Amino acid sequence: MPIQYYLFLSLALFSIGIMGVLMRRNAIIVFMCIELMLNAVNLLMVAFSKMYGNADAQIFVFFIMVVAAAEVAVGLAIIVMMYRKVHSVDINILNRLKH
Amino acid sequence: MHLHEILFWFLSFMAIVCALGVILSRNPVKSVLFLIATFFSISGHYVLMNAQFLAVVNIIVYAGAIMVLFLFVIMLMNLNADAEPQKSRLVQMAAVLSGGALFLVIIAALRTVDLNNKAMITSEGDLGLIHNLGMVLFKEYVLPFELSSVLFLAAMVGAMVIGKKEEVIQNP
């Protein structure tokens, strides 16, 4: 497969993630779309790693997964805490930092 | 068409359809299940590129651990009702337009880029096997590897501190 196909596939997945972040009101779904965008980048990175025959990019993908796991743990804890306070995960309600 | 190409198109189609299902389904539990299917098809792509270590790690970490965490949180909050309030049509339209515009702009920018056009991503080479990756990881990247354990410790402590019930502070 030419490298362009992988480029377009991961670009499509990334754009779908951006649409989801802008479109949904559930904070958990927004968070899941961020995970989708991270995975699109991972896919492209592995494809470029194959193209250049360099293993460093795959190590970077491994570290991206590590950071994503830590991020999910903290982020979901924040969402659970918010849910306890305001009994909702609607991001239109969670905008109190503005006031 | 070779088997490799058939698998590529099938996995790509499945990844994009399931990603659309994540952002379009009303039920958050269904979104999580679609996202797990997306991760599995991305792992299939890794196997096609012979990056088997990353394929297995992707399934274990993402589909196994992270998505189970999401599923637990959704079910604890009892959000599996379909009564999620939606953004207005205008905002949804603007979101789709801006996402599609980004897609088009990057495609238009990349169309003429001077990539190595003869580079075919095949399933040959043992670059992504665990032997090579382990040599690179524990020779050149051993410091970031150890630092990531500190990161995990910090994330664990942070999650517990944030998530614990608040005690009533007694004024003296």
- Could you tell me the domains of chain A? 3-98 (1.10.287.3510)
Task: Give domain status of residue B170, yes or no.
Answer: no
Arithmetic mean of pLDDT, B138-167: 89
Min mean pLDDT across A70-74, A94-98, B57-61, B110-114 is at A94-98
Which candidate from B115, B121, B132 shows the least CB-CB separation from A50?
A: B121
Q: Which residue of B lies nearest to A40 if distances are taken between CA atoms?
A: B42
- Give the residue numbers spanning the domain of B138: 129-165
The answer to whether position B157 is within a domain reads yes
CA A87 to the chain's CA centroid = 25
Question: So what's the ipTM on this one?
Answer: 0.91
**Out of A12, A70, A89, closest to residue B152 by CB:** A70
Say whether both B159 and B76 belong to one domain: no
**Chain B touched by A35 (CB under 8 Å):** yes
- Tokens linked to A50: 């194959």
Query: 């999620």: which residue's tokens?
Result: B84
Contact B87 A39 (CB under 8 A): no
Q: Could you tell me the two tokens for B41?
A: 């098809």
For residue B159, with 0-12 CB atoms within 10 Å meaning exposed, 13-18 middle and 19 or more buried, which class applies? buried
Nearest to B155 among A5, A42, A74 (CB): A74
Could you tell me if B41 and B83 lie in one domain? yes
Distances, alpha carbon B128 to alpha carbons A36, A51, B131, B136, in Å:
22, 12, 8, 11
Q: Which residues contact B4 (CB under 8 A, 6 or more apart)?
A: A1, B48, B122, B123
Quick check: A8 and B121 in contact, CB under 8 A? no
In a domain, B57, yes or no: yes
Q: For chain B, how many structural domains are there in total?
A: 2
Identify the band that residue B40 occupies on the pLDDT scale cut at 50, 70 and 90: very high
Work out the mean pLDDT of chain B and round it to a whole number.
86
Q: Cβ separation of A70 and B155 shorter than 8 Å?
A: yes
pLDDT averaged over consecutive 10-residue blocks of chain A (99 residues)?
87 94 89 93 91 87 92 90 83 72
Structural domain contains residue B172? no
Q: Is B34 near chain A, with CB under 8 Å?
A: no
Lowest mean pLDDT among B53-62, B109-118, B127-136, B137-146: B109-118
